[in-house]
Amino acid sequence: MTQKKTIKPTEGKGVKEKSVVIPILNDEYKVVVCWGSEKYICKVLKDYHYPEHEPVDFENNRGKLFAHSRCFPIIALREEPNKETMIGTLAHEAFHAMDYIFRSIGENSLDEVFAHSIGAIVRITLNNL
């Protein structure tokens, strides 16, 4: 089950914009997956209390992980993950998000829980298209 923040999906310049919040391990840890324009991604980062952050830079990247202490990791995608390349990018960034969470809790093993968590991020995101 996902928890949704009050960010509403919108359409901007032909690009769908949406965010999905995915609980990981328990309700204390979450990963946010969002896609859309760079302006929309910056709004999501602001809504989740991100301080200054690196540029989104969708000119050179299909996706990017934003991670900051005391903030949920945010996977930003340049477009809806409904094509093979974007699903691959989602899975790639999900690995980075889980690596960030595991490091922040002092967990060093990359076992079944880690793998199932990556699967949950991809599965729940795709179920919310």
State pLDDT tens for residues 87-121.
999 999 999 999 999 999 999 888 999 999 999 99
Distances (CA, A) of 2 to 13, 24, 127: 27, 10, 10
Give me the residue label for tokens 């934003």. Answer: 66
Global pTM value: 0.86
Write out the residue range of the structural domain in which residue 49 sits.
Answer: 10-127
Distance CA(74)–CA(97), nearest Å, equals: 8
Q: 106 lies in a domain? A: yes
State pLDDT tens for residues 9-24.
444 456 689 999 999 9
Q: 4 lies in a domain? A: no
Residue 18's DSSP bridge partners are 35
Query: What is the pLDDT confidence band of residue 2, given thresholds at 50, 70 and 90?
Result: very low
Distance CA(95)–CA(90), nearest Å, equals: 9
Give the count of domains, the chain. Answer: 1
Q: 105 lies in a domain? A: yes
State pLDDT tens for residues 79-88.
999 999 999 9
